[in-house]
Amino acid sequence: MKEEERTKKIFKACKEGKIDIVQIMLDENINLNQQDKEGGATPLFWACQVNQSNVVQLLLRQPNINTNTPLTYEKSKGATPLIIASYLGNHECVKQLLQLSTIDTTLTFQKKTALQCSQPNARADGWEFLEDKINVDGRQNCQNETKDDKPGEEKTK
């Protein structure tokens, strides 16, 4: 299988939660830090965006994974897996990411941290967990953003 096909396969498996395919690709030493051409998303980013917490857990066990890779797509530039999971209220993914000592909670998307981007309707225990872990006072949210300002949104042609 060509490298481009392998790349598409790992992204699709992470998006769809196909943990068996992800495991096979990990066994084949797929590069987990590769970024897609459209916006710079990594397999971890895709799994966090669509709340595939089982895939996130598997990916985070890999010693060479970069958990802080930001998107490069213009409208979402700077969004990380933690920021997108927080923004979308994907509590289990957030919790798994915050268990790591390598996660950088100071990274921002449009001058907002993951805590500040967590949705107003996120589960209360998720908000408290973020607040305790990140230790940031005050809450700003992304509720007034336009569609173009949402982190991790795929481009439409």
| Cα–Cα distance, 118 to 18 (Å, whole number) | 26
- Parent domain of 43: 3-138
CATH number at residue 31: 1.25.40.20
pLDDT at 124: 53
Between 8-17, 75-84, 143-152, the lowest mean confidence (pLDDT) is in 143-152
pLDDT at 143: 37
Q: How many CA atoms lie within 13 A of 147 on its CB side?
A: 3
pLDDT at 126: 56
155 in a structural domain: no
The answer on pLDDT for 84 being more than 70 is: yes
| Cα–Cα distance, 155 to 136 (Å, whole number) | 32
The answer on pLDDT for 147 being more than 90 is: no
> How many domains does the structure of the chain reveal?
1
Average the pLDDT over 136-156 and give the result.
Answer: 44
